Amino acid sequence: MPLRLDRDFTIVICDHKDGPFIPEVQDLGRACAEMVRRDIADCQYTDVLAVIEFNPKEFTAREVTHDYEQTIADARALLERCRSRGPDID
C-alpha cells in the first residue's frame, strides 16, 4: 500500500523522567484522531502533555490537546483507580 501524506496524522507527546517524548507508532493507520483518542482512553499513553495534528502535504500543524482533555482526564482517573487497587493476585 502506498504512503498517503495528504491526510491528517495525530501524534501524542508524553512526559517521562528523562523528558518529553513521542511514543513509537508502528502502524501509521493508528496515527489518526480516532485511534489516538481510543488509545488514550485505553491508557496506551500515560502522562500526556500534548496532542498534535498535522498534514505533511498541506504543511499544516495544530496543537489539539484541548479537544482531548476529557479523554485524558478519564484515562488518568482509570489509571489511578487501577493503581490504588494494587496487583490482582489469584
Note the pLDDT of residue 55.
95
Domain-wise residue ranges, the chain: 9-84
59: left (phi over 0), alpha (psi -120 to 50) or beta: left
Residue 65 is given by DSSP the state: G
Report pLDDT digits (tens) over 56-66: 999 999 999 99
Note the pLDDT of residue 81.
81
Report pLDDT digits (tens) over 16-68: 999 999 998 778 877 888 889 888 888 888 889 999 999 999 999 999 999 98
Note the pLDDT of residue 15.
95
Would you place residue 88 in the very low, low, confident or very high pLDDT band (cuts 50, 70, 90)? Answer: low
Note the pLDDT of residue 49.
94
Find, among 8, 4, 14, the residue nearest to 76 by Cα. Answer: 14
